[in-house]
Amino acid sequence: MIEFKLTGKISAKIVFDDSGIEELITLFSEVLDSNEAWTRIAEDRILKVIRNEEASTMNLLQNNSITMTMDSDEIEYVIERLKICLVEKVFYPAEFCELRYKQKDVTIYAEYVEL
């Protein structure tokens, strides 16, 4: 399970369980190999990640898809933290990443839930 929601004007949250962690690790690992990848996070929502060494951005599109653009270092750091979360069952600190969205810096927080 993976959920993504805006929680304020400059924050969003990604919530996941054990299977969501595994999906996210796979997604981010694929991005390192192929520059972009996507996964379905709800029946009508897609999370797409693009590797770009120049910009870190987020776009929410009208068709309910979310695109996160991150550099390699950020992607590797996220993978490392997700692997730790899989063992420790907590994502700490809660900041997942920071991206530009509508000309503002938006902090993406992460939360692990047990289902």
List, for residues 80-104, the tens digit of each pLDDT value: 999 999 999 999 999 999 888 888 8
Q: Is 101 helix (H, G, I), strand (E, B) or coil?
A: strand
How many angstroms from the chain centroid is the CA of residue 59?
12
> Could you tell me how many residues make up the chain?
115
Fold of 2-112: Gyrase A; domain 2 (3.30.1360)
Query: What is the pTM assigned to this prediction?
Result: 0.91
* Dist CA 46 CA 38 (whole Å): 7
User: Smallest Cα–Cα separation from 3: which of 61, 57, 42?
Assistant: 42
What's the pLDDT score for residue 22? 97
